């Protein structure tokens, strides 16, 4: 079980052309210099995200959203996969934002979108043309970074 920051947020920018419900999972171990949200590194921060609670949130918002986004959670891959499967059961698309450079095929098999790469302050996030981060449409292999440029 991992914790999340409650409540989840409806977001429009994180996945191009999707209305997403965003779950931020705590316990990130990457320790990026200049981390934008240091509290996310504390696994005890937030509240437990059980399958039941997750399903309640999806039930509440399913008519409004097209995608479910996880900020992190890949460090408990079986748990994350369980929640991705529940999302897919609702015919919702799925996305993972990770600071890692790669994730397991077992996770990728349940994703529509994947953002890879740690935060590097000097390079900026996806909205920066110099960024080290990459956002993919997993199904087509298309690199989506251009959709974030300002």
* Binding-site ranges for ligand SF4 (CB under 6 A): 28, 30-32, 35-37, 40-41, 99, 118-119
Strand order in the sheet with 9-11: 9-11, 20-24, 67-71, 93-97, 113-116, 134-137
What's the closest the beta carbon of residue 63 comes to ligand SF4, in angstroms? 30
What's the closest the beta carbon of residue 18 comes to ligand SF4, in angstroms? 21
Q: Of 86 and 116, which has the nearer Cβ to ligand SF4?
A: 116
The answer to whether the CB of 57 falls within 8 A of the CB of 10 is no
CA distance 42 to 53: 21
What's the closest the beta carbon of residue 148 comes to ligand SF4, in angstroms? 16
The answer to whether the CB of 68 falls within 8 A of the CB of 94 is yes
Q: Of 36 and 44, which has the nearer Cβ to ligand SF4?
A: 36
- How many other CB atoms sit within 10 Å of the CB of residue 69? 24
The residue of the chain with the least Cβ separation from ligand SF4 equals 99
Q: Of 6 and 56, which has the nearer Cβ to ligand SF4?
A: 6
């Amino acid at each position: 079980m991992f914790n999340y920051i409650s409540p989840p947020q409806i977001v429009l920018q994180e996945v191009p052309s999707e209305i997403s419900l965003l779950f931020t999972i705590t316990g990130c171990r990457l320790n990026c210099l200049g981390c934008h949200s240091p509290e996310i590194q504390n696994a005890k921060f937030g509240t437990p995200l059980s399958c039941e609670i997750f399903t309640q949130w999806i039930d509440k918002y399913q008519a409004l959203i097209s995608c479910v986004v996880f900020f992190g959670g890949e460090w408990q891959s079986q748990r994350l996969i369980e929640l991705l499967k529940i999302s897919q059961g609702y015919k919702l698309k799925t996305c993972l934002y990770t600071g890692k450079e790669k994730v397991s095929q077992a996770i990728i098999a349940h994703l529509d979108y994947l953002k890879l790469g740690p935060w590097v302050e000097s390079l900026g996030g996806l909205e920066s043309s110099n960024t080290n981060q990459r956002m993919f449409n997993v199904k087509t292999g298309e690199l989506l970074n251009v959709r974030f440029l300002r």
